[in-house]
Amino acid sequence: MKSNRTEENNDQLAAIGIGAMIVFIALILVAAVAAAVIIQTAEKLQQNAQTTGDDTADNMAGKLFIDTAFVDTTTPGDDYLLFISLAPGSDALIITDISYQMFCANGNTQGVGGTEISFTQFDGSALATANTLSPGTSYQAVVDGSGGTDWDDCSANSGTAAGPIGEVQLYLHVANGGTTFETMVVDETAGGALVV
């Protein structure tokens, strides 16, 4: 009888192959996670840029430019006459969407809209509060500096000893739009005195 002798050889090549496959799968998983993080970051940056661009467009599409301003001649010393226009690329603005604030050198503040600010076309014809301001057209706006009975007095003649008030910070706000800021330097109370 012949006996068969069986010898097992350790196959080291298979063990190396399995190790390499595990490392390869781990590298694929790491690459997938890194790719997901990069894609998510890029999408977030794109959304932020889009939001910022939309906000900027909204602010510029609803903004007023103050070309010049005077102490009003109709009620000298109380009101201010502004020559304004809409910013380039602006949409038409409804007059009732416009309000203003004033901060005066004497510490007074005021901020109103509606009847306290009135608009006329450049030729002097009046605009009703239901009207709109159109791009490419200049307008006159009369802002009540005395503020009536509800607000502090920021008129030109509300300075010390009934002299000029000095500086007045004027803000024109557009609902869902931008804000225009201008410093008016009031050196005279007479009608027609240049303040901007």
Q: What is the pLDDT of residues 86-117, one digit of tens each?
A: 887 788 888 888 888 888 866 666 655 444 67
User: Mind giving me the DSSP string for 12-43?
Assistant: HHHHHHHHHHHHHHHHHHHHHHHHHHHHHHHH
Q: Please state the domain extents for the chain.
A: 13-61, 63-186
> Within 10 Å of residue 57's Cβ, how many Cβ atoms?
11
Q: Which residues of the chain have pLDDT under 70?
A: 1-15, 58-61, 76, 105-116, 129-130, 147-152, 159-163
Return the CATH fold of 63-186.
Immunoglobulin-like (2.60.40)
pTM over 0.75: no
